[in-house]
């Protein structure tokens, strides 16, 4: 039987489109399974928790992705114009209801499950006795401050800020608690010990982002924001600014060095206090 040319064209297009969707689905799934580009290993128990939730989400979205793309490919190929009669139907409330219920359970369930990690990170404060570490962003550098033996951060004043003369935070020398504060452009933290971050900025919004800690927090003008982490794997980890802060945003980085408690104590002893540096 001779076919009309339109139907042949339709078969070719349907086949190509369905095949493309199939290949696209396979390649995408492969890339997410092969993990050629992936996050670096987590260095905290919290980071591992986030990775687990990521994988749960990946599995559920992966299933929906494959079903939807292949369903589309199948519908395109199967229902191409080939002289058939259309099967007339305007809906199927039972299937609609089932599908809706399934997605509610899947998506909302997933969301609820993921709240554990968030609650741990943000609803609870840092453990008692955590090392206090203040992080201050400014265009386009990071500065870290340790409270020193007195455990208190000294007062700072905007008018005293002078990065060029060695007082980037504007530490007030007349405040007694400032005397032992240590300021450093890179951070050292002891492995296996809880660290409480006090995140600040002097000028515009920046964002503290360390990939291996699975931690990101904006530094917001006018606010001091608390975060906490406990890194267990020693190493040097890069800190990159993650919120657009001006022309030097791309080079606003520093390092967080996770070292053994002994090395940390030694590093701390070797530091001059900020006011000595001036």
Partner 1 sequence: MVTHESGGHHHPPSGFIRKYIFSLDHKVIGIQYYVLALFSVFVGMALSLLMRIHLVWPSAKMPFTPGGQMTPEQYLALLTMHGSIMVFMVLTTAPQSGFGNFILPIQIGAEDMAFPVLNMLSFWVTFLSLVVLISAFFVTGGAPISGWTAYPTLSALGQIAGPGQGAGQTLWVIGVAIFCIGALLGALNFITTTVDLRTKGMTLGRMPLTVWSWLITAILGLLAFGVLLAACLLLLLDRVAGTSFFIPGGLVVTDTPIVSHTGGSPLLWQHLFWFFGHPEVYIAILPGMGVTSHVLSTFSRKPVFGYKAMVGALSAIGFLGFCVWGHHMFISGMSPYSAFAFSLLTMTIGVPSAIKTFNWLGTLWGGKIRFTTAMMFGLGFVSLFVTGGLSGLFLAQPSIDLYLHDTYFVVAHFHLIMGVASIFGIFAATYFWFPKMFGRMLNETIGKIHFWFTFIGVYTIFMPMHFLGLAGHPRRYADTTGVNFLAPLHSVHYFITIAAMITITAQLLFLFNFFYSMKAGQKAADNPWNATTLEWSIPSPPPFDNFAGHIPVVYRGPYEFSVPGATDDYIPQHVTPERVGKAH
User: Is residue 239 a contact partner of residue 208, using CB atoms and an 8 Å limit?
Assistant: yes
The least CB distance from residue 176 to partner 1, in Å, is 21
Q: H or E element: which one contains 182?
A: strand 182-184
Among the listed ranges 107-115, 147-155, 176-184, 185-193, the one in contact with partner 1 (CB under 8 A) is 107-115
Integer angstrom CA distances of residue 44 from 71, 103, 133, 183: 40, 32, 17, 25
Does residue 110 interact with partner 1 by CB under 8 A?
Answer: yes
> Is 104 one of the binding residues for partner 1 (CB under 8 A)?
yes
Q: Which of 146, 211, 231, 259 binds partner 1 (CB under 8 A)?
A: 211
Round to whole Å and give the CA distance between 54 and 242.
Answer: 20
Binding of residue 119 to partner 1 (CB under 8 A): yes
Q: Which of 133, 137, 138, 187 binds partner 1 (CB under 8 A)?
A: 138
Q: Does 217 bind partner 1 (CB under 8 A)?
A: yes
Q: Considering beta carbons, is residue 15 or 260 the nearer one to partner 1?
A: 15
Q: How far apart are CA 57 and CA 49, in angstroms?
A: 12
What is the smallest separation between the CB atom of 269 and partner 1, expressed in angstroms? 29
Q: Does 170 bind partner 1 (CB under 8 A)?
A: yes
Among 3, 8, 19, 20, binds partner 1 (CB under 8 A): 20
Judged by CB under 8 A, the chain residues 63 through 92 that form the site for partner 1 are: 64-65, 68-69, 71-72, 75-76, 78-81, 84-92
Binding of residue 248 to partner 1 (CB under 8 A): yes
For partner 1, which is the closer residue by CB, 81 or 263?
81
Counting contacts by CB under 8 A, is residue 209 touching partner 1?
A: yes
Helix-helix angle 45-78:5-34, to 10 degrees: 170
Residue 132 touches partner 1, criterion: CB under 8 A: no
Distance CA 208, CA 45 (A): 19
**What is the side-by-side strand order in the sheet with 187-190?**
187-190, 253-259, 235-241, 206-210, 215-219
| DSSP code string of 27-38 | HHHHHHHHTSS-
Instruction: Assess 129 for contact with partner 1 (CB under 8 A).
Output: no
Question: Pattern 30-49, binding to partner 1, x per CB under 8 A?
Answer: -x----xxxxx--------x
Q: Is 235 in the site for partner 1 (CB under 8 A)?
A: no
Is residue 171 a contact point for partner 1 (CB under 8 A)? no
CA atoms of 74 and 52, how far apart (whole Å): 33
Q: Which of 2, 5, 159, 262 binds partner 1 (CB under 8 A)?
A: 159
Q: Which two tokens stand for residue 168?
A: 């980037």
Smallest CA-to-CA distance from 148 within 200, 183, 188, 172 is with 183
* DSSP states of 201-239: ESSS-EEEEEGGGTEEEEE-TT--EEEEE-B-S-EEEEE
What angle do helix axes 109-118 and 45-78 make, rounded to 10 degrees? 160
Q: Residue 273 CB, nearest distance to partner 1 (Å)? A: 21
Say which residue the tokens 């060029």 belong to: 164
Least distance from partner 1 to the Cβ atom of residue 3, Å: 14
Of the two residues 115 and 150, which places its CB atom closer to partner 1 in the complex? 115
């Amino acid at each position: 039987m001779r076919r009309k040319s339109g139907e042949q064209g339709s078969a070719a297009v349907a086949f190509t489109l369905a095949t493309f969707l199939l290949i696209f689905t396979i390649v995408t799934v492969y890339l997410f399974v092969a993990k050629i580009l992936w996050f670096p290993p987590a260095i905290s128990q919290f980071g591992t928790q986030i990775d687990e939730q990521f994988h749960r989400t990946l599995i559920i979205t992966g299933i929906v992705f494959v079903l939807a793309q292949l369903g589309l490919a199948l519908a395109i190929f199967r229902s191409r114009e080939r002289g058939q009669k259309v099967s007339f139907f305007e809906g199927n409330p039972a299937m609609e209801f089932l599908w809706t219920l399934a997605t509610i359970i899947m998506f909302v369930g997933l969301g609820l499950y993921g709240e554990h990690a968030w609650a741990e990170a943000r609803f609870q404060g840092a453990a008692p006795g955590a090392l206090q570490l203040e992080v201050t962003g400014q265009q386009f550098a990071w500065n870290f401050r340790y409270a020193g033996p007195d455990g208190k951060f000294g007062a700072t004043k905007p008018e005293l800020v002078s990065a060029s003369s060695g007082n980037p935070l504007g530490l007030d020398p007349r405040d007694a608690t400032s005397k032992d504060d240590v300021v450093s452009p890179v951070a050292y933290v002891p492995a296996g010990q809880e660290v409480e971050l006090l995140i600040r900025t002097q000028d515009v919004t920046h964002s503290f982002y360390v990939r291996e800690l699975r931690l990101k927090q904006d530094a917001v003008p006018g606010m001091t924001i608390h975060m906490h982490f406990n890194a267990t794997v020693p190493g040097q980890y890069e800190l990159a600014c993650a919120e657009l802060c001006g022309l030097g945003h791309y080079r606003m980085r520093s390092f967080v060095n996770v070292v053994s408690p002994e090395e940390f104590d030694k590093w701390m002893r070797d530091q001059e206090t900020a006011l000595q540096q001036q």
